[in-house]
C-alpha cells in the first residue's frame, strides 16, 4: 500500500496548529524527565481543567454522576484519569494507556565513593539501553531523597544554564585498541556506568602546626567529603539518606526542534511520554463521549510493568472498583463486566524506519516518520511470543473511527521477524478480556539518550486519540 506524508496535506492554518501542539509537548518533556515530575506536571494541568482527586472528593461524600472528572494518583508515580459518561459503566470504558517511565540510570542505595581523585555515584541502569551511548554526554540528576523524619527533598541539578552537569568517562581513543575489539554490549559494561560528580577535595581545616598524621586523616577521601559538605549545605542530607532516595540520571538539556525545516523533535524520553502527553491531553479535549473515558499513565513498563506502580499491580482494577462504588454500581460481577467490555488503545511508541539500517526492517510493514501515527496489531518477539494480538473485528472498528475522523495512521510491525522485538502493557490489559491494540508514534533512536519523532505524527496521534475516546 502506498503511503503519503502527512505534511503534504496541511494548510498554513493547520501547520500552525501542528507547531503549537509540538511546542506544548516540548514543554512537557522539559519539565517531566521522571515519573514523579510527569505526574506533578499533569496533575497541575488537569486540576485547572476541573479534575478532582478522588479521595478528597469522597470526603465530601459526593456521588459521581455524568460529567464528573476525577483522578487517582499512586505513590506519586502513576496516574489514572476518569470522566464519567452517560452510558452505564457496565457497558465498558474507552481507555488510553501509556507509560511515563523511560530508560535511564538509577543511583544505587550506597552510591557515593572516591577513586583516583574523583567522587562518583555508582549506578544501575534501568530498562533496555545501549550502554556505550551514555558515556561522555552531559547528564542531570533528578529525584527525591526522603529523610528518616519523612521530609522529602527534591533534587534537580543539571537543567538550568548555570547548573553543573555530570558525566561518565570513556577511554581515550589513543589507548582503546583492546576496547575497540569488544562486542558492543561489552565495550562499556554496566558496572562502568558510574557518574563523575566532583574532583576537588574539601578544603583542609588543619593548621600548619598540626601533626602529619592529623593532616593525612583529613586528606583521606577529601573529594567525597567535599561532596557531602555540599549536599549538607544545599539539601540538608547526610550520606545515609541515600538509602531512602530515588535519584535518576538522565541526559541534561531541553527538547530541541530538529532539521532545517524544524519538522522533528530530538529529546530524551519520547518513549513513552509522547503517547502519555497525547493521551492525557485528549482526555481534556473530549467532553462529549457517551461512554466513561479513562487515561492510564503507568510506571515500570520499561522493566516489565512490575511493582506497586506498574501495570501488573491491582492499582487500576482497585481504582475502577472505587469509581463504580462512588457511582452506586459496584459489585464484583459488574466490575468484571466493565473491564471485559472496555476498549483500549495501548498508547506506546513503535520503531520508526531508519534508511541507514534498512536491513533491520520489513519496509512494507514499518512506520515512517511524518506519515501519521501507528497501529501494531501485535508486538512480542519472533513468533509473536509475549504479544497481544488484536482481533480483526476490533481493528475494523478502529479503522472506521480513524478514517471518519481524518486521522492519518499506519499499520506496522516493530522490525524483521527474527531480529528481536518488544512489549507494551497491551497483553496485561487483554487479561481482562477487553479489546486492546497498540497505538502510538514512530520513534527513531528508540531507547537512546536522545530520540527523534515527527511533529506531524504527534499531531495526527492527537486526532486519533480524540476520535477514539469520543466514538469507540
What's the CA dihedral at 235, 238, 239, 240 to 10 degrees? Answer: -120
pLDDT at residue 218 above 70?
A: no
pLDDT at residue 212 above 80?
A: no
From residue 320, give the alpha-carbon distance in Å to each of 165, 296, 317, 330.
42, 11, 5, 9
Q: How many whole angstroms separate alpha carbon 443 and alpha carbon 102?
A: 13
Mean pLDDT over the full length of the chain:
95
Confidence of residue 460 (pLDDT cuts 50, 70, 90): very high
What's the CA dihedral at 46, 49, 50, 54 to 10 degrees? Answer: -10
109-166 confidence digits (pLDDT tens)? 999 999 999 999 999 999 999 999 999 999 999 999 999 999 999 999 999 999 999 9
The structural domains of the chain, ordered by start, are 6-102+268-471 (3.40.630.10), 104-251 (2.30.250.10)
Contact (CB, 8 A) for 440 and 275: yes
pTM: predicted TM-score of the whole model, two decimal places? 0.95
Give residue 410's pLDDT: 96
Provide the 8-state DSSP code for 90: G
Q: How many whole angstroms separate alpha carbon 269 and alpha carbon 275?
A: 11
From residue 291, give the alpha-carbon distance in Å to each of 30, 65, 186, 420, 460.
33, 12, 51, 38, 23
380-411 confidence digits (pLDDT tens)? 788 888 888 899 999 999 999 999 999 999 99
Amino acid at each position: 500500500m502506498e503511503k503519503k506524508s502527512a505534511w503534504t496535506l496541511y494548510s498554513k492554518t493547520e501547520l500552525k496548529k501542528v507547531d503549537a501542539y509540538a511546542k506544548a509537548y516540548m514543554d512537557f518533556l522539559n519539565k517531566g524527565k521522571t515519573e514523579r515530575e510527569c505526574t506533578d506536571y499533569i496533575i497541575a494541568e488537569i486540576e485547572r481543567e476541573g479534575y478532582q482527586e478522588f479521595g478528597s472528593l469522597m470526603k465530601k461524600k459526593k456521588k459521581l454522576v455524568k460529567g464528573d472528572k476525577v483522578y487517582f494518583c499512586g505513590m506519586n508515580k502513576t496516574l489514572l484519569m476518569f470522566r464519567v459518561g452517560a452510558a452505564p459503566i457496565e457497558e465498558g470504558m474507552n481507555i488510553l494507556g501509556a507509560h511515563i517511565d523511560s530508560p535511564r540510570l538509577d543511583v544505587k542505595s550506597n552510591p557515593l565513593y572516591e577513586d583516583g581523585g574523583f567522587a562518583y555515584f555508582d549506578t544501575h541502569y534501568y530498562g533496555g539501553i545501549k550502554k556505550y551511548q551514555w558515556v561522555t554526554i552531559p547528564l542531570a540528576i533528578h529525584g527525591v531523597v526522603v529523610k528518616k523524619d519523612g521530609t522529602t527533598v527534591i533534587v534537580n541539578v543539571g537543567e538550568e544554564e548555570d547548573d553543573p552537569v555530570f558525566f561518565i568517562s570513556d577511554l581515550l581513543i589513543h589507548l582503546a585498541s583492546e576496547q575497540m575489539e569488544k562486542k558492543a554490549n561489552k565495550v562499556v559494561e554496566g558496572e562502568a556506568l558510574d557518574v563523575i560528580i566532583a574532583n576537588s577535595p574539601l578544603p583542609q581545616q588543619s593548621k600548619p602546626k598540626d601533626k602529619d598524621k592529623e593532616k593525612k586523616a583529613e586528606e583521606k577521601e577529601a573529594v567525597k567529603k567535599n561532596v557531602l559538605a555540599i549536599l549538607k549545605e544545599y539539601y540538608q542530607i547526610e550520606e545515609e539518606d541515600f538509602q531512602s532516595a530515588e535519584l535518576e540520571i538522565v541526559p541534561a538539556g531541553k527538547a530541541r526542534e530538529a532539521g532545517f525545516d524544524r519538522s522533528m523533535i530530538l529529546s530524551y524520553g519520547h518513549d513513552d511520554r509522547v503517547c502519555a502527553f497525547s493521551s492525557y491531553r485528549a482526555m481534556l479535549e473530549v467532553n462529549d463521549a457517551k461512554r466513561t473515558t479513562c487515561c492510564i499513565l503507568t510506571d515500570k513498563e520499561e522493566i516489565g510493568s512490575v511493582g506497586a506502580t506498574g501495570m501488573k499491580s491491582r492499582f487500576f482494577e482497585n481504582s475502577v472498583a472505587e469509581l463504580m462504588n462512588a457511582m452506586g454500581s459496584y459489585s464484583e460481577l459488574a466490575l468484571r463486566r466493565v473491564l471485559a467490555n472496555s476498549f483500549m488503545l495501548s498508547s506506546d511508541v513503535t520503531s520508526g524506519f531508519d534508511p541507514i539500517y534498512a536491513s533491520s526492517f520489513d519496509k512494507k510493514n514499518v512506520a515512517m516518520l511524518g506519515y501519521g501515527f501507528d497501529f501494531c496489531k501485535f508486538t512480542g518477539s519472533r513468533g509473536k511470543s509475549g504479544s497481544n494480538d488484536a482481533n480483526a473485528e476490533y481493528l475494523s472498528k478502529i479503522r472506521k473511527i480513524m478514517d471518519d475522523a481524518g486521522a492519518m495512521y499506519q499499520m506496522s510491525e516493530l522490525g524483521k521477524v527474527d531480529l528481536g522485538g518488544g512489549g507494551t502493557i497491551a497483553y496485561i490489559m487483554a487479561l481482562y478480556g477487553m479489546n486492546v491494540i497498540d497505538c502510538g508514534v514512530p520513534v527513531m533512536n528508540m531507547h537512546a539518550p536522545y530520540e527523534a519523532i515527527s511533529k506531524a505524527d504527534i499531531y495526527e496521534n492527537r486526532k486519533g486519540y480524540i476520535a477514539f475516546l469520543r466514538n469507540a
